[in-house]
Structure 1
């Protein structure tokens, strides 16, 4: 199905029209039931969808160099590089995702580099949840 969706824009649009409303409704229901100080939605196509940005207070991007991203997807999904690049070409660019983000976690330097960034954002989001004023972007 992946090959069809990324080779045929019409098939991709039809699939998204079926799936996205269901995914959105499930995510919003889970958020409504959440009891924490804040909620993080994982929205892989946030930039492309255009509908999520208005529903959230902040956008967090987890970023890594494109070559690292390609290698990780190839290993995780057992896909050839050409297919990974084709999938990426059908999505928002790295720069578009970064431009849309209020906050960025750099995920190209190993797992041990993530914890301090996550801790800082957690503290920031806790503080944000206690007040209504906006806070400046955090490029970590």
Structure 2
């Protein structure tokens, strides 16, 4: 079992960042085992999500549009506290982690699959954990 962490800088309030290469680097740097296992990738924040999907610019734009239309920016009770209820709600819809099988210590992703950090309250610096087991 291994583990590693890395930071991701986001550029906008709602932003999608492909972290696949960073996860693969973490595995190569010792987070990964030599044999078959699974890798859990986890974003350590309540206003960002992590998903496995295609990194295609139009689809990423569609993801941002979907989140914006599904969860309006304003009108939530939590906004009285810090004005970012929409970010928490969007992140809950996405989930905070994914589990990917490993084959020979490498991510066993499908042809078009990438690991995407979805920022919902940026720009910020996010911490991503990579754990193999």
Q: TM-score when scaled to structure 1?
A: 0.26
Bigger RCO of structures 1 and 2 (CA < 8 A, at least 6 apart): 2
Bigger strand fraction? 2
Q: TM-score when scaled to structure 2?
A: 0.26
Bigger-Rg structure (1/2): 1
